[in-house]
């Protein structure tokens, strides 16, 4: 079934560790996004990509980085995790519609806790 | 950037009543207006969207209305049911950009 997959679902790590949150989609979408969301709260865009080798920073300043080497894969990396990074990270994708915007499809998220 | 305001932040209605959530935005060039529903512990899911060339769209018990002049759009849920209880988010792209700025969310509680 075409979907967007995120791993791990939950992650608890110590301060200073390097981590990569994985996101893959089998929907054939060109556009992919990373949002940060505290439970039940507003979603903040931290990174997005319109295609392979295209990445942009979002509205929320983030110490993370992303890469887009393959259409289906959009990992997010934190070089040195801090307690302030504790949050839920949601990956999303959308197709390149003729009207510019089309619906976002979200993954189940990674709930990150930095101790 | 786009400024999106969403009201109310919480809304409690009795089963069978209607619920209305409103969002205002700042960029007059914005052309796409979706609404997402997020149940507890789940991912956000699109429930309805509207483009700037229409004023209203309905899908069963859910409708969205758009007032481009006043720069606001609203989600209307009729005959509410307990399974409508969730957090609802509006979203707006800054101009015609292919990314979305989300509202702060409305927690809807439908009581029996």
Place A97 in a pLDDT band, splitting at 50, 70 and 90: low
pLDDT at position A3, please? 93
- CB-nearest partner of A108 from B43, B91, B97: B43
Separation between Cα atoms, residue A48 and residue B39, nearest integer Å: 24
Contacts of residue B88 in chain A, CB cutoff 8 Å?
none
Separation between Cα atoms, residue A73 and residue A68, nearest integer Å: 6
Q: Does A61 touch chain B (CB under 8 A)?
A: no
Interface contact A107-B43, CB threshold 8 A: yes
Place B69 in a pLDDT band, splitting at 50, 70 and 90: very high
- For B56-80, give one letter per residue: b (16+ CB within 10 A) or e: eeeeeebbbbbeeeeebbbbbbeeb
Backbone dihedral angles phi then psi of residue A83, each to the nearest 5 degrees: -55, -30
Tell me, rounded to whole angstroms, the distance of Cα A88 from its chain centroid: 10
Place A100 in a pLDDT band, splitting at 50, 70 and 90: low
């Amino acid at each position: 079934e075409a979907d967007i997959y995120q791993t791990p679902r939950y992650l608890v790590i110590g301060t200073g560790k390097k981590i990569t949150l994985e996101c893959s989609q089998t929907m054939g979408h060109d556009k992919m996004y990373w949002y940060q969301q505290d439970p039940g709260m507003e979603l903040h865009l931290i990174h997005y990509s319109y295609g392979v080798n295209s990445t942009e920073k979002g509205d929320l300043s983030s110490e993370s980085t992303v890469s887009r080497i393959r259409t289906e894969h959009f990992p997010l990396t934190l070089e040195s995790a801090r307690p302030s990074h504790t949050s839920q990270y949601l990956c999303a994708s959308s197709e390149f519609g003729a009207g510019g915007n089309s619906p976002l499809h979200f993954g189940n998220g990674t709930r990150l806790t930095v101790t | 950037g786009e400024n999106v305001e969403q009201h109310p932040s919480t809304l409690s209605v009795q089963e069978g009543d209607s619920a209305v959530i409103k969002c205002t935005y700042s960029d007059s060039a914005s052309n796409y207006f979706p609404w997402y529903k997020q149940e507890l512990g789940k991912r956000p899911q699109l429930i309805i969207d509207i483009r700037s060339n229409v004023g209203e769209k309905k899908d069963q018990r859910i409708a969205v209305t758009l007032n481009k002049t006043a720069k606001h759009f609203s989600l209307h849920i009729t005959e509410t049911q307990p399974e409508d209880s969730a957090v609802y988010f509006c979203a707006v792209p800054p101009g015609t950009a292919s990314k979305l700025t989300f509202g702060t969310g409305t927690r809807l509680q439908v009581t029996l």
